[in-house]
Structure 1
Amino acid sequence: MLLLAPLPAQAVQPSEVLKDPALEHRAREISEELRCLVCQNQSIDDSDAPLAKDLRLLVRDRLEKGDSDAAVKSYIVARYGEFVLLRPVFAAHTLILWLTPALAVLLGALGIWRLARRRRPAAAQHLSASEEAEVAALLRRE
């Protein structure tokens, strides 16, 4: 029982499973890449929401009609928008989404570098003859 705990729960009902194992495998792969629009952090394969079930059935229907994996995803994206993809596409309009983590790391490294530079002790400077005499006089008083 403990060995099965880390595995994701599959919400696919037996009535949804395709008879052709190859098509079912393709349907599962596509479903893992599509977001449940109700749960938002689960794939449609893992969600029990009615909309997720409808999407799973739609994926299987498109595969049975002979669509390629890319055509099925394109069809779903055309109907529901790019938000349905768990991994957003890399394009100009999603560039900030992809570059934000790198920018955050870069800014953090820059901040740490500046902080380290500020805390570094200044290089030792030699005293002039008059300053050395003044220091010696102060030390003699004590």
Structure 2
Amino acid sequence: MVLIDSSAWVEFFRKKGDLGVKLAVANLRNEMQAAVCGPVAMEILGGALEEHREAIGRDFSLLPWLRTDERLWLDSAAHYAKLRTHAVTAPWNDVLIATFSLWKGCRLYAPDKHFALMAPILGLRLYEPGPNGNYSPERDASL
């Protein structure tokens, strides 16, 4: 499973969005590997034009939703503080989404540069699409 960040969804839904990102998101969905969480849905639906909101909501309803409880906020705060001690400042919602990914043990697809900065500090596993945006299964690091 791959949690898709808001930055990828923005490109996917944008008419002239980045083609590589569009292909990667489409292929994750086709392979039934795409997931969404509340903070991502809030960012996308909150920023969508009114005439697109319902269609995007229907689209998201077809995907697995990653759920959690209030402890996520405490872990996110700890991650935010840890990042600051490493001189990495990231938007709080990106830290929350990264924590979701860590909690659920899934990779995160995010073209947003903040996640690449957070990954080595938090142990975040970022998803890298294959050629032409094809789905790229996680490889065993011991191979």
TM-score interval, normalised by the smaller of the two chains: under 0.3
The structure where strand makes up a greater share of residues is 2
- Provide TM-score, normalisation by structure 1: 0.24
